[in-house]
């Protein structure tokens, strides 16, 4: 979780980055930062909160230059403190080094230990800071060599937008866990986590940064300088299921279409007799479209969303999360009273949101409540940047499907099968990371993400 965005070659680079981050707000609501460069001077503005809260015209005016890098943060490693706001920025050998990172490394602990032994002093508790240290240690003046050597030492997930001197760098880990794309706006280049941000600023989508690819953009144009090889891709399937915006194309395909197809398959696998179907807004909306088209069921909005409340799970503290869940959706009793309904949801993670939703629907008069979920049970933590870092917070990790259904308070609960989900996907099954469903990790931190970071903080 996190959104990255960069612009090279536009006199409004910072303003465009602001808009890009605005479109990527769903990837992280905790903090935001933009760094810009005018060839001589590096400017930086950052703050805790939403893009629109942190930036106003006065602040944006201070960000001068033709190159900018921005980041929306949702903390998956490191704590939610001001030092951990990205992009990370330093001056090294009289040139700016700016790093914006989405993803989690899996060898943070080992790298951190090795670098500290050699005298590195860390200012943050983020794995992303390692990149700065790895780059700074490289003695070569050759940018390409520096980048290849530094990035080859990192394992795990990274989609990066960086500024190194007068170059904008885009890089993606060799497995391609997280999305990253390139766009063009007149003569300027744009790099973004998702294509929805290109749409907002009127940039044309050029292509994705390929897994393992390192791209350099400067006044000479765009150059693909190297591709780090990997035996296997591991696109995060959860980006399609929940995380990316439905109007984005990621990994080469449209997210809305994939979600709709997941719903279609779900209806085929688990038909249900009831008065009508409804999504849990907004997360279940797109799967619900496919579900009702396939099942030919009447459709209703049984709950209405308050659009002035952000995404519930983004709040790291549990107390705030529960409050936000309640304030976000209001049921319509006139629609629900004495009805047997099926609710469609994209996924169940902790189960706490769904439990509150079902209670609210019952209180509003729904008789039977069935639930259909457009992915399999999430049983294993993610080490690559989605926020379910430990097993114990995943409701399905210790419960059978029937037990989860009872916990949430449902009459029936069915999840789309792993085969059904993979059959819907626009790539071969072997191209995806499905570890949160299967426990089959391609690479794993030795101590698990949380332990890894706590250990770092203690040290």
Write out the catalytic residue numbers.
2
| Residue closest to 70 by CA, chosen among 120, 134, 2 | 2
137 lies in the site for ligand AMP, by CB under 6 A: no
Q: How many residues bind ligand AMP (CB under 6 A)?
A: 16
**Closer CB to ligand AMP, 310 or 351, in the complex:** 351
Q: Which of residues 272-291 bind ligand AMP (CB under 6 A)?
A: 283
Pick from 55, 291, 388, 415 the residue near ligand AMP by CB under 6 A: 388
Pick from 242, 256, 407, 432 the residue near ligand AMP by CB under 6 A: 242
Q: Which stretch binds ligand AMP (CB under 6 A): 78-86, 244-252, 381-389, 433-441?
A: 381-389
237 lies in the site for ligand AMP, by CB under 6 A: no
351 lies in the site for ligand AMP, by CB under 6 A: yes
CB of 103 to ligand AMP, least distance (A): 15
Structure tokens at 22: 């605005």
**Closer CB to ligand AMP, 143 or 348, in the complex:** 348
Q: Which stretch binds ligand AMP (CB under 6 A): 30-38, 83-91, 198-206, 352-360?
A: 352-360
**Do residues 286 and 260 make contact, with C-beta atoms less than 8 angstroms apart?**
yes
Residues 6+ apart with CB under 8 A from 185: 7, 10, 16, 201, 202, 203, 204
**Closer CB to ligand AMP, 36 or 374, in the complex:** 374
SS3 39: coil
Cis preceding linkage at 47, omega within 30: no
313 lies in the site for ligand AMP, by CB under 6 A: yes
Cα 400 versus chain centre, distance: 28
Q: Which of residues 63-92 bind ligand AMP (CB under 6 A)?
A: none
CB of 241 to ligand AMP, least distance (A): 7
From residue 401, how far is each of 117, 202, 291, 351, 382 by CA, in Å?
A: 48, 45, 20, 12, 20
Residues 6+ apart with CB under 8 A from 168: 6, 7, 8, 67, 69, 161, 162, 189, 191, 216, 217, 218
**Closer CB to ligand AMP, 18 or 313, in the complex:** 313
User: What is the C-alpha separation between 173 and 157, in angstroms, rounded?
Assistant: 6
CB of 358 to ligand AMP, least distance (A): 9
| Residue closest to 425 by CA, chosen among 210, 260, 246 | 260
CB of 5 to ligand AMP, least distance (A): 21
Pick from 285, 353, 424, 452 the residue near ligand AMP by CB under 6 A: 353
Structure tokens at 359: 């209670």
Q: Which stretch binds ligand AMP (CB under 6 A): 64-72, 97-105, 190-198, 344-352?
A: 344-352
Residues 6+ apart with CB under 8 A from 7: 13, 16, 17, 20, 67, 68, 168, 185, 188, 189, 190, 191
450 lies in the site for ligand AMP, by CB under 6 A: no
Q: Which stretch binds ligand AMP (CB under 6 A): 127-135, 165-173, 384-392, 439-447?
A: 384-392
Using CB under 6 A as the criterion, which residues of the chain lie in contact with ligand AMP when the complex forms?
242, 283, 313, 345-354, 386-388
């Amino acid at each position: 979780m996190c959104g990255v965005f960069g612009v090279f070659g536009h006199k409004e680079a910072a303003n465009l980055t602001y808009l890009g981050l605005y479109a990527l707000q769903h990837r992280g609501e905790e903090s935001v930062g933009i760094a810009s460069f005018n060839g001589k001077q590096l400017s930086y503005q950052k703050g805790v909160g939403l893009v629109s809260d942190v930036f106003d015209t006065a602040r944006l005016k201070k960000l001068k230059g033709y190159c900018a890098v921005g980041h929306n943060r949702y903390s998956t490693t490191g704590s939610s403190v001001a030092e951990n706001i990205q992009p990370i920025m330093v001056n090294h050998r009289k040139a700016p080094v700016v790093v914006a990172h989405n993803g989690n490394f899996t060898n943070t602990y080992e790298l951190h230990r090795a670098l500290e032994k050699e005298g590195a002093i860390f200012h943050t508790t983020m794995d992303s800071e390692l990149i700065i240290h790895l780059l700074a240690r490289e003695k070569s003046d050759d940018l390409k060599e520096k980048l290849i050597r530094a990035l080859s030492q990192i394992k795990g997930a990274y989609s990066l937008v960086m500024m190194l001197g007068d170059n904008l760098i885009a890089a993606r880990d060799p497995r391609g866990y997280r999305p990253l794309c390139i766009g063009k706006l007149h003569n300027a280049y744009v790099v973004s986590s998702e294509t929805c941000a290109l749409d907002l600023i009127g940039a044309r989508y050029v292509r994705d940064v390929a897994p393992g690819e390192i791209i350099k953009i400067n006044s000479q144009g765009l150059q693909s300088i190297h591709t780090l090889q990997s035996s296997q891709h591991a696109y995060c399937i959860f980006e399609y299921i929940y995380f990316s915006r439905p109007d984005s194309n990621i990994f080469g395909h449209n997210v809305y279409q994939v979600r709709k197809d997941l719903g279609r398959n779900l209806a085929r696998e688990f038909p249900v007799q009831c008065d009508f179907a409804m999504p849990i807004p907004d997360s279940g909306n797109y799967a619900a479209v496919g579900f009702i088209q396939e099942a030919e069921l009447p459709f209703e909005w049984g709950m209405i969303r308050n659009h002035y409340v952000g995404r519930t799970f983004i709040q790291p503290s549990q107390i705030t999360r529960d409050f936000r869940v309640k304030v976000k959706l209001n049921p319509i009793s006139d629609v629900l009273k004495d009805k047997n309904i099926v609710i469609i949801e994209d996924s169940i993670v902790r189960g706490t949101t769904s439990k509150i939703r079902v209670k609210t629907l019952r209180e509003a008069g729904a008789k039977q409540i069935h639930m259909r979920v457009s992915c399999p049970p999430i049983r294993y933590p993610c080490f690559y940047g989605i926020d379910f870092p430990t097993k114990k917070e995943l409701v399905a990790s210790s419960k059978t499907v029937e037990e989860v259904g009872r916990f949430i308070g449902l009459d029936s609960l069915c999840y789309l099968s792993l085969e059904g989900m993979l059959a819907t996907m626009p790539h071969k099954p072997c191209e995806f990371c499905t570890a949160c469903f299967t426990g089959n990790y391609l690479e794993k931190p030795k101590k698990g993400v949380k332990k890894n970071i706590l250990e770092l903080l203690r040290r």
